[in-house]
Amino acid sequence: MWQDSTDNSQRLTNCLIKVLENNNTPHEIIQTILNLCEFMEREGIKVPIKSLGDYSKKCNAYAKALHYKEQEFLENANINLIEELIGLNNQLQNYDAAAGLIEYTKQIKQVQNNDTELNQTWYEKLGRWQQALSIYERKLQEDINNPELLVGKLNCLHELGDWESLDTTAKTLWKIGDKKAISSARSLYAAALWYLDDWNEFDSIVSEMTESNFENDFFKSINCIHNEEFEEAKALINQQRIALDAELSSLVGEVYERSYSTIAKAQMLAELEEVIACKEGLYNQDAKSILKSAWSEKLINAKADVSIWQKLLKIRSFVLTETENSESWIKFTGLCYKSGKYKLAMKTLDRLAGINIENHLEELQPSKLRIGVQYLKLQWKGAKDLEEKKRLLNVLQNFADIIEERRGDDLNLKAVVCSKLGEWNLYIAQNSNAFNYETIPNILMYYHSTIQYDPESYKYWHHWALINFEIVSYIELDENYNEETLVDYLKVSIEAFVKSLILTKNNQTLQDTLRLLTILFKYGKYQEVEEAIVEGIRALPVDIWLHVIPQIIARIQSNVPAVKRVMTDLLTTIGKKHPQALVYPLTVASKSPSYDRRKTAMSVIEKIRTDSGHLVEQALLVSEELVRIAILWHEAWHEALEEASKEFYVNHSFDGMMAILQPLYDRLEKGGETQNERGFLQSYGKDLRDAFELCIRFKNKGKRASEKDHDIEGAWEIFFRIYKRIHKSINAVAVLELPHVSPRLMEAHDLDIAVPGTYKAQNVNNIIRIKSIAPNINIV
């Protein structure tokens, strides 16, 4: 219809363009039109509307914008479009694609012998702010008062958090007096003044903000709160929230990651309201403590983004001093370092300390010593060579003496320092080929001190376990090692892993649980190790082992009696408390070709049966019947005949051929249990038996498979004929009817057993049980 009626299509196109171009059109309407265009494109109808990419960006539909901009680039490879493509890929977290565009442009310039420098704004789009800043500074050396370059530099400094430099550069721009440049840079300058606590200048800049947008209204709210104009601040916050509501609505179709910055803005507004409530005296001291805890929790769960963290922390500084909130600020410096904003991290630490730490580390006040430890940790991360790390280790050792002298009662801080001393000594020893019996005692001393100073820390017990396990690996390098010494370290490691598991949160248990199992599997032959593991199992909650049931079942047929014994007892313990978690995997193991595996699995099943007999019976029913449905006789014979032919004709092995076919013949002799199996017997039973008789005749002749014989040739003629018939019938089946393939499952209703794969220990009172099985099963 679109293509058939030119006049109608043109009128519709013009109407859509007018709607899209109208600044008052709600984002929801634009989204609907864009969805219509996308649908038509899928139908092979090209929509004759240019700038769909721009309209998509307008309502934050970045994925659509990228699609349309890529189409524009394919139609007209304009190098100016690359900057937009870089920005959109960066917005969608397609960082590799964005970086690839930079490399693509470099190659194009190289082919064209174009030695001009890449546009600094490209690096901005890519988030490479330091590189962009370097280009701006080089260009400003040639044109010192260029307003456009100064604004670009301000933007880079804002992203890098270099507020002092931003303040200085902004003053230069303001002196030049370019109104357009000043207008675009006003919010950047306001941010710097806010972070620098220059409230007088901040008030002056905010008063110049006439345009209403989130950034301007946000800073106006901040200024109102500082001036205690709370009613006006509330009105501004409500105004911003209404704007955010429209923005969030347009982002509903986007993934959470892409809409996070808007969600973070909403959180900032909520915290501004909480600040106002505190300022108005609506919170007593207890409520403030609760609020501080809630803020800390929110910060931990917030995205690791320097800009978001800094704004949140600065908002909270209306209520909490930097000393009161020092722990969060210290975490912020670590985030700055990880994000490549080393300068901001160091300046923040200097501000928290009240001095220049680099030159006055030993002069820190007792209450600021933790800041000094953070400073040294960041210095260590930035150290470029082993000699620099050795120097920092000596500084930390000296600083530990200062902490002992000034804050000897702060056990938590002493634990932090000892943890780093242990970690750094270990690193230097391993990277100097000096990890040996001479350096090990000193390293162990520091790690052991951590659990003495803070015995309730999962992290320190975890590290104590790991260092002892590391020493076990070192001991084993010596072929003539002392087994008694090895076992001693293993026992300590086991006890530490158990303690760490007791102290840990649920989401951290897997790695330590696996390490305990690894120790048992590898060293379970030692009686002391077995005893330590058994003692640990008794001390630990049973739920901890639910995540490693597959690993446990995988070792139940171990050749080491101790390992087999411990695994069997552990599975029995798990099965008594969580039978739903075990019955399915144990049932599968009970059907294993391995005799030992079958026997051990059945012994555990029998122990579980005493308390949960009905669950065991139901699990056996479900698992057996599901296997029956998964591999019907037609499919089993189809696969077996194919494998048997390879054994006979390729490997020339009659015995190998019969080893594949004999189990299926044994099932034939038992007769069919379902309508499907009886139908198979009726169609192929006689021919298969005839072929089997011919195989037995050939076997009795004692001939080799490579020798010609009419009996075996006759058998394979029958097999090939059956194979072709089965092949056709398999391909023709799209749906299995449960009454025909498994009447027992069809009759199963209201079972107590859980749906496979759904059982969760934390939801024992809300188990998803099998109500019934669908009567028709589609074959994928």
The per-residue pLDDT for 156 is: 94
DSSP state of 557: T
Encoded tokens for 204: 């002056």
Q: Which range among 103-112, 337-346, 427-436, 474-483 shows the weakest confidence by mean pLDDT? A: 103-112
pLDDT value of residue 2: 45
For 364-392, what is each residue's pLDDT tens digit? Answer: 999 999 999 999 999 999 998 999 999 99
Domain 632-726 grouped into CATH 1.20.120.150: yes
Domain boundaries, the chain: 6-124, 129-297, 546-611, 632-726
CB atoms within 10 A of CB 101: 23
Q: What is the 3-state secondary structure (H, E, C) of 679-742?
A: HHHHHHHHHHHHHHHHHHHHHHHCCCCCCCCHHHHHHHHHHHHHHHHHHHHHHHCCEEEHHHHC
Task: Tell me what pLDDT residue 110 has.
Answer: 59
Question: Phi then psi for 769, rounded to 5 degrees?
Answer: -95, 165
Please answer whether residues 299 and 315 qualify as being in contact, where contact means their C-beta atoms are separated by less than 8 angstroms: no
d(CA 319, CA 646): 79
Measured distance CA(220)–CA(207) in Å, rounded: 8
35-55 confidence digits (pLDDT tens):
777 777 776 666 655 677 777
pLDDT band at 405 (very low <50, low <70, confident <90, very high): very high
Containing H/E element for 534? helix 527-539
295-346 pLDDT per residue, tens: 999 998 899 999 999 999 999 999 999 889 999 999 999 999 998 899 999 9
Does residue 291 contact residue 298 with C-beta atoms inside 8 Å?
Answer: no
Residues 389-403, buried b or exposed e (16+ Cβ, 10 A)? beebbebbeebbebb
Contact 191, 202 (CB under 8 A): no
Write the pLDDT tens digit of every residue in 181-233.
999 999 999 999 999 999 999 999 999 998 888 999 999 999 999 999 999 99
Mapped to the 3 state alphabet, what secondary structure does 295-343 carry? HHHHHHHCCCCHHHHHHHHHHHCCCCCCCCCHHHHHHHHHHHHHCCCHH
114 torsion bin: left (phi>0), alpha (psi -120 to 50), beta (else): beta
Name every residue whose Cβ is closer than 8 Å to that of residue 196 and which is 6 or more positions away in sequence.
163, 164, 167
Average pLDDT, the chain: 88
Which amino acid belongs to residue 303? K
pLDDT-derived band of residue 506, with 50, 70 and 90 as boundaries? low
Angle at 458 between CA 570 and CA 452, to 5 degrees: 115
> Residue 416 above 70 pLDDT?
yes
| Topology of the domain comprising 129-297 | 1.25.40
Question: Which backbone phi and psi does 776 adopt, to 5 degrees?
Answer: -120, 130
Give the global pTM.
0.78
Whether 717 and 735 have beta carbons less than 8 Å apart is answered as no
pLDDT band at residue 253 under the 50/70/90 scheme: low
Residue located via tokens 């790695």: 511
- Pair of tokens at residue 558: 């171990």
pLDDT, greater one: 10 or 184: 184
What are the distances in angstroms from CA 334 to CA 165, 413, 487?
22, 17, 39
Greater confidence, 193 or 81? 193
Q: Report the percent of the chain where pLDDT is more than 90.
A: 60
Residue 1 confidence (pLDDT): 43
pLDDT, residue 674, reads: 94
Residue 362 has which token pair?
Answer: 């030993």
Rounded CA-CA distance 61/372 in Å is: 46
CA distance 373 to 395: 10
Dihedral sign, Cα of residue 734, residue 735, residue 740, residue 742: positive
Burial 551-564 (b: 16+ CB within 10 A, else e): ebbbbbbbebebbb
- pLDDT per residue over 83-126, tens digit each? 778 778 777 777 777 777 777 776 766 555 555 556 777 788 77
Contacts of 224 (CB under 8 A, 6+ apart): 230, 232, 233, 236
Lookup: tokens for 154 = 């301000």
- What is the per-residue pLDDT across 56-76, written as a single tens digit (0 to 9) for each? 777 777 778 888 787 777 777
- Taking domain 546-611, whether its CATH number is 1.25.10 is answered by yes
Q: d(Cα 274, Cα 298) in Å, to the nearest integer?
A: 14
Mean pLDDT of 254-279: 87
Provide the pLDDT for residue 722: 96
> Per-residue pLDDT for 410 more than 50?
yes
pLDDT of res. 73: 76
How many Cα atoms are found within 13 Å in the side-chain-facing hemisphere of 542? 15
Q: For the residues 160-173, what does the mean pLDDT come to?
A: 95
DSSP letter, residue 217: H
Looking up tokens 């230097």 gives: 428
DSSP 119: P
